[in-house]
A and B are shown apart, each in its own frame.
Chain A
Amino acid sequence: MNKMKYRRYKDKAFLYLMFLITIIAITPLASIIFELVAKGFNQLNISFFTEVAPTTLDSMLAKSTGNPVKGGIANGIVGTLQIVGIASLMAIPLGVFVGIYLAENSNKKFSTLVSFSTDLLAGIPSIVYGIIAYAWIVIKITDGYSGFAGSVALSIMMLPLVIRSTEESIKMIPASLKEASLALGTSYRKTILRVILPSAMSGLFTGILLSISRVIGETAPLILTALGSQVINLDITKPTSAIPLLIWEFYNDPYLINMIWSSSLFLMLLVLIFNISAKQISKRWAIQ
């Protein structure tokens, strides 16, 4: 009887311990969010979205005249959309096809090799992608820093994520669906494109959105490729700004420190939106 009681106490203590550890673990997370909101929120005004980032000169002038520093991150927002958009255009179709190939040919030696390389690719530090895009694109193709080089770096980063999520979601589709399609006399190509892929859409989209949210905040590869720009630049062969690049620039200017918080908050909200949409889509479109 006593032993039972003792055990119950131990169980209770264990529960409290887990609770305590959880609290300790989420404290820094909560404080980060709190700090971002507290320091960044009141700067998320219209000009934050419509004006380009202030330069060091702007900030020094403002400082000497005692006015607040004006400016936003419009060049960063446009740059991020452009760099990540083009990266997605390259990585998604490619990754989806490789994912289909892996799911459909899982017992081939070549697939094992591709699969293994994909895992390796996922483990490479992001700055290495930047160096590679620098060597391949900045030096050889665009002859200087460019948004396109940034897109290439990010798209290689996205590839393993897109490949894996496609492969996983296609493998989840029961063989009976493929058989149903082929039994109607459908070709293999149409079976894959019109039956299997649409049925795997939920998982596919989730993976794609998560891969975008994974690279949207990447800074290191962009420092070596897109470099940054003080104006809104739409030419992909020219240096281009991006939100994480601006955060890095703001950090290097003591007068612009406040902009870090609002930009980071905005980036966090962006990632949050992607993650929530991913969850919603996987729930809404889920099949059975």
Chain B
Amino acid sequence: MGNTINNNNIALHIEDLSIAYTKDKYAVKGINADIYKNTITAIMGPSGCGKSTLLRAINRMHELYPEIKVTGNILMKDQNIFKINAMEVRQKIGMVFQRPNPFPSMSIYENVLAGYSLNGIKLKKEEKDRIVQEVLEDVGLWEEVKDTLHKKRTALSGGQQQRLCIARSIAMKPDILLLDEPTSALDPISTSKIEELLMKLKDKFTIVIVTHNMSQAARISEYSMFMYLGDLIEYDLTKKMFTNPNDKRTEQYLTGKFG
């Protein structure tokens, strides 16, 4: 993994990142990694190995919980994301959570534009309409919801809700999109729709996805990380890792021997 931060291909440079929920009990231990632009990077590993913790730190979600201690740096375009305004970082680094969490008090239309309205960014009506249609088409939801855009409390399935949440994130045109097991609560059809979507979206964004589903990682990602007990054990091209892993633990995990 090249160490030059100036490299144009690098979206995120993670440097000696450690995260502890309680003193001296690290959930993420001194991770170094570069995330490459316009690729999908999958983070894998057994439950509790620190995948969500790592992902959430990139979006600075840990700051909601003052007891969490983070050391190390994450650089984005030569800027340390821990040193600049958190709101600015979060507008550039979008996050999709494991459980779909659309805003229940808003219509579909308002949900898609929530990033703008909540940040006080004013848009013209035509511009709003264009963004809503564009991103809902991107996530494959347009046809299903175009007649109920302005209705509040429309009943959406879990998969539709998750695609709406992705739409809400990408409407903000972030540079990087983080997804924490976005399909773990979904049926196979919704899952494959979201996978197709992610493959399409990587031309526009850099995507980091936590997944428990190894075949999903194999299907969609170029790069894969394998974490174990807070350590980044292995980080390589997905093809290489799945065919010829360097570490014994990676191999054991991928062959289902533990996890």
Contacts and interface: CB of A to CB of B under 8 A. Distances in A.
B153 A195 contact: no
A262 B202 CA distance: 72
A190 B114 CA distance: 11
A144 B172 CA distance: 60
B101 interface: yes
A191 interface: yes
Contact of A181 (B91, B103, B172): B103
Most chain B Cβ neighbours within 10 Å, of A183, A199, A201: A183
Contact of B101 (A179, A185, A194): A179
B230 interface: no
Nearest to B165: A180
A70 interface: no
Interface string A170-203: 0000101111111111110011001100110100
A177 B103 contact: yes
A287 B168 CA distance: 20
Interface string B156-191: 000000000100110010000000000000000000
B153 A183 contact: no
A167 B168 CA distance: 28
A288 interface: yes
Interface string B4-30: 000000000000000000000000000
Contact of A190 (B59, B97, B102, B118): B118
Which range contains the number of B residues in contact with the other chain?
20 to 34
Contacts of B103: 177, 180-181, 195, 199
Contacts of B64: 178-179, 182
A21 B200 CA distance: 68
A186 B97 contact: no
Interface in B99-128: 99, 101-106, 114-115, 117-120
Interface residues of A, number: 22
B229 to A, nearest CB: 25
A43 B117 CA distance: 54
Given A176-B97, A176-B99, A179-B97, A184 B105 contact: no
Given A178-B64, A195-B103, A185 B97 contact: no
Most chain A Cβ neighbours within 10 Å, of B95, B104, B106, B169: B104
How would you classify the secondary structure of chain A's contact residues: helix, strand, loop or mixed?
Answer: helix
A185 B94 CA distance: 9
B88 interface: yes
Interface string A187-226: 1001100110011010000000000000000000000000
A109 to B, nearest CB: 15
Given A178-B64, A184-B94, A185-B87, A288 B104 contact: yes
B61 A194 contact: no
B219 to A, nearest CB: 26
A186 B88 CA distance: 9
Contacts of A180: 97, 101-103, 165, 168
Given A176-B97, A191-B118, A184 B104 contact: no
Contacts of B168: 180, 184
Contacts of A195: 103, 105, 118
A174 B101 contact: yes
Contacts of B249: none
B90 interface: yes
A179 B71 CA distance: 22
A179 B61 contact: yes
Contacts of A178: 64
Given A183-B59, A187-B87, 9 more contacts: A178-B64, A181-B118, A182-B64, A183-B97, A184-B91, A185-B91, A190-B119, A190-B120, A195-B103
The 7 A-B pairs of least Cβ separation, nearest first, read A185-B91, A198-B105, A185-B90, A186-B118, A287-B104, A183-B95, A184-B115
26 contacts: A177-B101, A179-B95, A181-B103, A181-B114, A182-B90, A183-B59, A183-B61, A183-B95, A183-B97, A183-B169, A184-B115, A184-B118, A184-B168, A185-B91, A185-B119, A186-B115, A186-B119, A190-B118, A190-B120, A191-B118, A194-B118, A195-B103, A195-B118, A287-B104, A287-B105, A288-B104
Interface of B: 59, 61, 64, 87-91, 94-95, 97, 99, 101-106, 114-115, 117-120, 153, 165, 168-169, 172
